[in-house]
Amino acid sequence: MDLGLGGRGYLLTGASRGLGLATARALVADGARVLVSSRSAASVDAAVAGLGDGASGVVADLADPGAAETLVSTALERLGRVDGLLVSVGGPATGTVLGTPEEAWRAGVDSVLLGPLRLVRALVPHLGEGAAIGFVLSTSVRSPLEGLAVSNGLRPGLAMTAKGLSDELGPRGIRVVGLMPGTIATDRVTEIEAASGDPAAARARTEAGIPLGRVGQPEEFGRVAAFLLSPAASYVTGTMVAVDGGRLRVP
């Protein structure tokens, strides 16, 4: 299936590894050009080298109020045109509702909510009909995850922001979608499992609750994200798509 990505340009944040990098690979493989960003220069350089032709990178931290303008200006300079955006941010601090300090909640708001919002507001004036914006969320949008109180509190808010944004941008022919990854084999998941004190037991418990019986692979997420950002998904907007092996128990 031709996704129609040839010659199109995409900006991806938090894309030097994990789900963002997997999406960048899928986009480049289908002919798109990408600008990937993250907070680490070394990670950005490694990601760009692995992606090869059609990829460039920039260092940016979405929690920094100046990052949005830097990302947009660099994307326009490097790509010439921006046809889509994938917003992925690092997972906020782990912990319980009462055990998480206020500063961790504030940091989560800056990175999970305000950072993506600043970027979208800066980029939207440069998007044309047929462009797409994707937010990497979590299944915590619909069901809380143990030990991830900040994520449980903020991801649903970002999902509703994405839904409202789809209403605002729909008349301009710009689509907005959210992706809800379940347990995917990324460094973030490894960190969460390690924090449990028994990583093997944590993985076994997780897999027992997934109908497909296994955790997902980053490339499985990347293919779904690339499709949703592509012209092939031209009538998909305002929806949150689970990529979780069937784990969510609500439709």
Structure tokens at 10: 């995409």
What pLDDT was estimated at residue 2?
87
Residue identified by tokens 């940016």 is: 60
* pLDDT value at residue 250: 85
Rounded Cα distance between 58 and 74, Å, is: 8
Give the C-alpha separation, 132 to 20, whole Å. Answer: 15
User: Where do we find the tokens 């830097």?
Assistant: 70
The edge-to-edge listing of strands for the beta sheet with 240-243 is 55-59, 33-38, 9-12, 84-87, 132-136, 175-181, 240-243
Q: What is the pLDDT of residue 90?
A: 76
Distance CA(127)–CA(69), nearest Å, equals 15
- Give, for all 251 residues of the chain, the pLDDT tens digit: 789 999 999 999 999 999 999 999 999 999 999 999 999 999 999 999 999 999 999 999 998 999 999 999 999 999 999 999 999 987 788 899 999 999 999 999 998 999 999 999 999 999 999 999 999 999 999 999 888 999 999 999 999 999 999 999 999 999 999 999 999 998 878 887 888 889 889 899 999 999 999 999 999 999 999 999 999 999 999 999 999 999 998 87
- Alpha-helical regions (H) of the chain: 18-29, 41-51, 67-79, 102-108, 115-123, 149-169, 187-195, 199-208, 218-229
Report how far apart the first and last C-alpha atoms of the chain are (Å, whole number).
27
Whole-number pLDDT of residue 193: 84
Name the DSSP letter for residue 250. -
d(CA 236, CA 45): 33
Distance (Å) of CA 74 to CA 40, 69, 81: 17, 8, 11
- What are the structural domain ranges in the chain? 9-183+218-242
Collapsing DSSP to helix, strand or coil, 34 comes out as strand
Structural fold of domain 9-183+218-242: Rossmann fold (3.40.50)
Residue 121: CB partners within 8 Å, gap ≥ 6?
68
HSE at residue 26, side-chain half, CA atoms within 13 A, is 24
